[in-house]
Structure 1
Amino acid sequence: MTRGNQRELARLKAAKKNNDHGKGKRGDDGLSAAARKQRDAEIMQEKQKKAGGGGKEETKGKEDAK
C-alpha cells in the first residue's frame, strides 16, 4: 500500500489535465445559439469570398451561362 498515494496523485494530475484540455469544447462567449450561428455564418461567408472570389454570387453566374 505504499504506492497508494502515488496513484491518487497521478489520478488528480490526470483529472486536472483532462479538465484543462477539453476535447472540442469552446469557451463560453456569452452568445445564444442563434447569435452564435449567425456569427459563424458571417465568418464563413467572409472566408468564402476571400477563397473563391465571390462565394454564392459566382455560382449563380455559372448557372445562367448554361
Structure 2
Amino acid sequence: MTRGNQRDLARAKNQKKQQEMQKKKTASEKTGLSLSERKRRDAELMREKQRKKDEQLAAVCNQMEKIKC
C-alpha cells in the first residue's frame, strides 16, 4: 500500500500551481489598481470600443443609403 513517488509529484505540482497564482497576484498588484478601479477602467474601455463600433456602423449605413438613391 505504498504510494511510491505519487505524493512527491502531487506536492511538486501543487507548489508550482501556488507559485503561478502568486505571480498572477503580484502582476495585478504591480498595476496599482484595486478591483473597483480595474472594473471602472475596463468599463470605460469597453464603452469607447462600443462607441467606435457604432460610428463604423453608422458610416456603413450612410454609404448604403447613398447607394440606394
Calculate the TM-score normalised by the size of structure 2: 0.45
Q: Which has the larger radius of gyration?
A: 2
The TM-score, its normalising length taken from structure 1, stands at 0.46
**Higher relative contact order, chain-length normalized (CA < 8 Å, sep 6+):** 1
User: Quick check: which one's helix share is greater?
Assistant: 2
